[in-house]
Amino acid sequence: MPALQPVRGTQDLLPEQHRRHRAVSETARAIAERYGYHEIATPIFEFTEVFARPIGETSDIVTKEMYNFTDRGGDEITLRPEYTAGIIRAIISNGLTQSLPLKYFASGPMFRYERPQKGRFRQFHQIDVELIGVAQPEGDVEVIALGADVLDALGVLKQTVLELNTLGDGPSRQAYREALVAYYGERRALLSQESLARLERNPLRILDSKDESDKRVNAEAPSFTEYLTADARRFFDAVCAALDRLNIGYRITPRLVRGLDYYCHTAFEFVTTELGAQGTVLGGGRYDGLMGVMGGPETPGVGWAAGIERLAMLIDEPQSTTRPIAVIPVGEKGEAAALTLMHELRRAGWAVDAGYSGNIKRRLQRANKVNARAAVILGEDELARGAASLRDLDTGEQIEVPLAELKDRLAPFR
């Protein structure tokens, strides 16, 4: 019988890799707390409508990538492909729209049926920040600064470039959409099949196409800046000016778009060249129309998400800060005494490693393998004297210590 394997696009996070993931999420959580963001957790699965309604029934995510199933009660359920829609649903269903502004941080697994590639999986993990109820450009600047601080704390900010664009306000987008439809309509024969489908529902998404023929067509496409209203220009200018004051560098990228109608004003991505073609490590933007699409009151929002797997590939290997105490019993009396001692030490706050079996030599080898700081050896002769041997595993020095004084003598090794 062949050995069982993980599902394609999933992975096991073994301890070394999990330390990287934990470093990313804990760093982001700590930075978000400095900015006043509170952690939230939403269900891993929701009614399909939670994602299908805002994302759009015909979008690539809904038609190709979402993990949908019908549960035993006949409800259409989807494993969450992203955080924002679920968080907005939570705000609406918990009656929180009267408590604005709301500042949330989240971290957890997502699911999308897409082609696995470097740093991209079908079950992947994200950190996420959402600022709800702030219409001013200061909100955009705050979440961008928060993202930059997270990347800086992880030591990867210098490996990235902040790409920035404006999607304008409603009138700007409508005018630009009409211009794009006219432009692409005259060049239909040059567009890919995917872009032809997007022309009918989300023409802005054609600007983001990776197809070579589409790229050539896009090179001459109208620029969004030509269709911005005066209000939209002032909003974007305010964002750029604030980022300049904070010394957060950026590159204006006119082709950076979000195709859904509820996105507006600022769109941004931190990108790197160190992960291949798919270089975005953190991205987001403003989505003032999303709450209304989901059945709540019209409420401004801005946020971002970042892939933990991709960030984990960029950071240095985190070192475990916990070095345990190894308890090594000798003989039956030593085993009995060790059981009690380990329980007492753990309850008192020490990390303790038990070797479980083997002679002193083998257990000391294990102690070195787990990077133990000290070893307590419980031999029958020592126990008869009410004592134990304490060995400093860094210096090799070993002394006999009365059991009554053991915790005090272990204090320097905590």
Same domain, 38 and 122: yes
Same domain, 27 and 161: yes
Q: Is 297 exposed, middle or buried (0-12, 13-18, 19+ CB in 10 A)?
A: exposed
Asked whether residue 111 is assigned to any structural domain, the reply reads yes
Which of 243, 60, 83 lies closest to 163, judged by CA? 243
**What is the predicted pLDDT for the residue at 56?**
60
61-81 mean pLDDT: 86
Asked whether residue 131 is assigned to any structural domain, the reply reads yes
Asked whether residue 196 is assigned to any structural domain, the reply reads no
Query: For the chain, what is the mean pLDDT?
Result: 90
CB 413 within 8 A of CB 374: yes
Given a cut of 60, whether residue 390 has pLDDT beyond it is yes
Tokens linked to 184: 């692409």
Identity of the highest mean pLDDT range in 92-106, 277-291, 374-388: 92-106
**What is the predicted pLDDT for the residue at 200?**
79
Q: How far apart are CA 58 and CA 199, in angstroms?
A: 12
Which of 185, 197, 265 lies closest to 232, judged by CA? 265
pTM over 0.85: yes
Same domain, 258 and 295: yes
Higher pLDDT, residue 55 or 314? 314
User: What domain range includes position 43?
Assistant: 15-169+229-312
Q: How far apart are CA 151 and CA 157, in angstroms?
A: 5
CB 262 within 8 A of CB 288: yes
Q: How far apart are CA 320 and CA 326, in angstroms?
A: 16
CB 150 within 8 A of CB 248: no
Examine the fold and report which residue of 278, 312, 346 is the final residue of a domain before the chain moves on: 312
Same domain, 128 and 248: yes
Q: How far apart are CA 414 and CA 43, in angstroms?
A: 38
Looking only at the bridges linking them, the beta strands covering 102-111 and 38-39 are parallel
Same domain, 35 and 140: yes
**What is the predicted pLDDT for the residue at 124?**
94
Tokens linked to 169: 């306000």
CATH code for position 371: 3.40.50.800
Same domain, 58 and 129: yes
Q: pLDDT grade, residue 58 (50/70/90)?
A: very low
Given a cut of 70, whether residue 276 has pLDDT beyond it is no
Asked whether residue 73 is assigned to any structural domain, the reply reads yes
Could you give the number of structural domains in the chain?
A: 2
Torsion angle of alpha carbons 360, 364, 367, 369, nearest 10°? -130
Given a cut of 50, whether residue 296 has pLDDT beyond it is yes
Same domain, 162 and 77: yes
Same domain, 261 and 405: no
Same domain, 48 and 72: yes
Examine the fold and report which residue of 263, 286, 312 is the final residue of a domain before the chain moves on: 312
Q: How far apart are CA 279 and CA 271, in angstroms?
A: 5
Same domain, 30 and 115: yes
Query: How many other β-carbons are positioned within 10 Å of the β-carbon of residue 327?
Result: 26
Examine the fold and report which residue of 260, 291, 312 is the final residue of a domain before the chain moves on: 312
Same domain, 296 and 331: no
Strand partners, 108: 126
Q: pLDDT grade, residue 57 (50/70/90)?
A: very low
CA 173 to chain centre: 30
Is the bond preceding residue 300 a cis peptide, omega within 30 degrees? no
Same domain, 20 and 83: yes
User: Percent of the chain beyond pLDDT 90?
Assistant: 65
Torsion angle of alpha carbons 176, 181, 184, 188, nearest 10°? 170
- 191-200, 279-288, 401-410: the lowest-pLDDT one: 191-200
Given a cut of 60, whether residue 60 has pLDDT beyond it is no
Give pLDDT tens digits for 311-355: 999 998 887 778 999 999 998 899 999 999 999 999 999 999 987
Asked whether residue 132 is assigned to any structural domain, the reply reads yes
Q: How far apart are CA 268 and CA 207, in angstroms?
A: 15
CB 180 within 8 A of CB 222: yes
Asked whether residue 142 is assigned to any structural domain, the reply reads yes
Tokens linked to 387: 């004592």
**What is the predicted pLDDT for the residue at 209?**
82
Q: Three-class SS string for 130-141?
A: EEECCCCHHHHH
**What is the predicted pLDDT for the residue at 62?**
52
Asked whether residue 90 is assigned to any structural domain, the reply reads yes
256-285 mean pLDDT: 85
Give pLDDT tens digits for 229-264: 999 999 999 999 999 999 999 999 988 887 676 889
**What is the predicted pLDDT for the residue at 359?**
86
